[in-house]
Chain A
Amino acid sequence: MSTGNMNLTLKVWRQKNNKTAGALVDYKVTDISPDMSFLEMFDVLNEQLINKGEEPVVFDHDCREGICGMCSMFINGRPHGPKDLVTTCQLHMRSFKDGDTIVVEPWRAAAFPVVKDLAVDRSAFDRVIAAGGFISVNTGNAQDANSLPIPKMQADAAFEAAACIGCGACVATCKNASAMLFVSAKISQLALLPQGQPERYRRVQSMVAQMDSEGFGNCTNTGACEAECPKGISLENIARMNRDFASAKFISEETV
């Protein structure tokens, strides 16, 4: 399968389950093609391990085209590796040099417990969404789209927030393991649109409360999340969330 000429040393985090401690284990992979994706390189490693009768490395992946948010490797100290605005599946081996040593770790956060090896449980994000990241709509015919005029700037900002794929790179890279970029994107994509208004202030309170109870850290505005986000989600969303939270707590009469 391997047809390239790159030889690499991998230091991969191996951990049986959430109850046992893990450790970095050294592996060698040879004849890696620079055109392979990082995950395809891991496929090569796993075939090698299976042929030797060893346990393959467990890692999350699904669409392998950068839109599902499943892949999640912390590569050489950065989520999704050294390139900006790409997920691990879209990272190619040409971004590395022959002979490199690459350290691969799982996302590390109390709220993202390791399932096995490089796979972590990100269901905390699902519970944050379930707490309020939706709009309530009665069934029946959809009304005419033109009955809700939305300024272009507003629509674009909502769309940019909605680009979040929920991969968790923001949490992984944040020195505080804070989920504020994710949560603020999920709040903003609705807060910016007319459909999101009825539940706007209830939503921000519920989702922030859920975020806190999941054990994520607190934002200190280092901006690492924005820099590492494969979808370029902006810190502006966090400011919007904070603003909405203040309005909800101190101005809105509705309590949650």
Chain B
Amino acid sequence: MSGFGNAFSSSIGKKFIMGITGLFLILFLIVHCGINALIFLDDDGLKFNIGAHFMATNWIIRAGEYVLFIGLLVHIFQALRLTLQNQKARPVKYAVNDGKANSKWYSRSMGLLGTLLLIFLVVHLKDFWVVSRFTGIPTVDVNGHENLYGVMKVKFQDPVRVGVYILAMISLCYHLLHGFASAFQTMGWNHSKYNGIIKNVGVWYSIIISLLFAAMPIAVYAGLIK
């Protein structure tokens, strides 16, 4: 490793870690959102339960789960470390600082948005992950698969929970709106022929992923799917 010197302890190295873990989490969200969107097939959750069963039993996915948690923790701790360092870089604050004149509010609020997402994640993991991995899913569907869809239907009868999920998805949308293109910029993947594509894909990705996720509790609560 000595040949790599301070590659990851330098400011740019730390940014690389944020960018790589961020892109990894972006990929994860596609898988997560894709499987969850199976509930919109309105088949009493049969396809969704097949997906959930596969995710819970396939060993590659289970191994990937560890990588996901490590990626998430690294993203969080690195962000914390960078934030503390950045605060030290300006010990005396400005009396007047017109941030909105030169940057988007969400690009300046990634820490706040990330913290909201972290709080949501604790609630979310307790709602579904802990149930499916540890405490057990109470019923099975007609295919004999654990009925995670049934758990979801019960959980999303609670309007407070639905509200929390919607607010979290708004945070997610803004976090991604900055994070997506930002990760590419950090990795140095900047190219005049691709910048427009990266920017547009980032915006559409952020909106579609958050809207789909937010639509799930709304659809269940409003009784739009069986």
Q: Which residues of A contact B (CB under 8 A)?
A: 11, 13, 24, 74, 76-78, 82, 103, 105, 108-111, 173, 175-178, 180, 205, 208-209, 211-212, 215-224, 227-228, 235-236, 238-246, 249-250, 255-256
Residue of B whose beta carbon sits closest to that of A102: B96
Contact B89 A78 (CB under 8 A): no
Contact A218 B94 (CB under 8 A): no
Q: Which residues of B contact A (CB under 8 A)?
A: 3-7, 10-16, 82, 85-86, 88-99, 101-104, 107-108, 110, 178, 181-182, 185-190
Contact of B86 among A82, A205, A217, A235 (CB under 8 A): A217
Task: Report 8 cross-chain contacts, Cβ distance below 8 Å, ordered by A residue.
Answer: A76-B96, A177-B86, A218-B86, A220-B182, A221-B185, A223-B102, A242-B188, A249-B5
Name A's interface SS.
Answer: mixed
Residue of B whose beta carbon sits closest to that of A236: B190
Distance from B107 Cβ to chain A, minimum over Cβ atoms (Å): 4
Residue of A whose beta carbon sits closest to that of B187: A242
Contacts A177-B89, A242-B15 given; does A77 touch B182 at CB 8 Å:
no
Contact of A256 among B5, B14, B90, B97 (CB under 8 A): B5
Distance from A254 Cβ to chain B, minimum over Cβ atoms (Å): 10
Contacts A217-B85, A228-B102, A239-B190 given; does A175 touch B108 at CB 8 Å:
yes
Contacting residues, chain B, for A246 (C-beta < 8 A): 12, 16, 187-188
Contacts A221-B178, A235-B185, A242-B186 given; does A215 touch B89 at CB 8 Å:
yes
Q: How far is the CA of A27 from the CA of B182 in the complex (A)?
A: 42
Q: How far is the CA of A65 from the CA of B16 in the complex (A)?
A: 39
Q: How far is the CA of A110 from the CA of B186 in the complex (A)?
A: 24
Contact B107 A108 (CB under 8 A): no
Contact A221 B102 (CB under 8 A): no
Q: How far is the CA of A211 from the CA of B14 in the complex (A)?
A: 14
Contact A105 B108 (CB under 8 A): no
Contacting residues, chain B, for A223 (C-beta < 8 A): 102-104, 107
Q: Which residue, A76, A211, A212, has most C-beta atoms of chain B within 10 A?
A: A212
Contacting residues, chain B, for A215 (C-beta < 8 A): 88-89
Contact A108 B90 (CB under 8 A): yes
Contact of A105 among B11, B96, B188 (CB under 8 A): B96
